[in-house]
Amino acid sequence: MVVSAPIYKSNRFWIVFSIMVYTSLSFFLFLQSSITPFQIIQSYWDINLVSNILKNIIFAIAFVIKDETPTNSGDNRKNELIFRTTPSYKP
């Protein structure tokens, strides 16, 4: 049995995390932007800047981190099966 590596050691996790953080922080800002005057929305625009910076930092982590999650390299029985290596039996 192979013990799986922690999820935070995978780049994909960090990429998904960054998208989630960005979306969750800017979601209501974008939602409100259509019904709010531009001047008011501008005063809250810092939220978007912060979320953007956070997203970029987390993206950077995703690119820097070394992926340690095991890749699925197919049939594990291949190496164990002794009969494949022995010559075929001919009665």
Partner 1 sequence: MIFLEIPTDNNISTVLFFGTVGMLALTIGLIVFIIFHQRKVIRYQSKLQLMEQEQQKMLLNASIRLQEEERQRIAADLHDDAGPLLATARLYLNENLVNLDKQSQLQSIYNAKQIIDDTIQLIRNISHSLMPPTLKNFGLESAVNDLFQKISGSGSMNASCRFHDYRERLHADQELIIFRVIQELINNILKHSNSSFIHLTQNLNGNNLYIRMHHDGRGITQADFEKLNKSNVGLGLKNIQSRLKLVHGQIFFEKDMSQTYYKVTIEIPKTEEELSRT
Binding residue for partner 1, selected from 11, 25, 74, 76, defined by CB under 8 A: 25
- The answer to whether residues 10 and 68 touch, using CB atoms and an 8 Å cutoff, is yes
Q: Which among 23, 8, 31 has a CA at the least distance from the CA of 55?
A: 23
* Closest approach of partner 1 to the CB of residue 64, in Å: 19
Is position 7 an interface residue for partner 1 (rule: CB under 8 A)?
yes
Contacts of 37 (CB under 8 A, 6+ apart): none
3-state secondary structure at position 39: helix
Is position 42 an interface residue for partner 1 (rule: CB under 8 A)?
no
Binding residue count for partner 1, defined by CB under 8 A: 31
Amino acid symbol at 15: I
Binding residues for partner 1, per CB under 8 A? 1, 3-4, 6-8, 17, 20-21, 23-25, 27-29, 31-32, 35-36, 40, 44, 47, 77, 81-84, 86, 88-89, 91
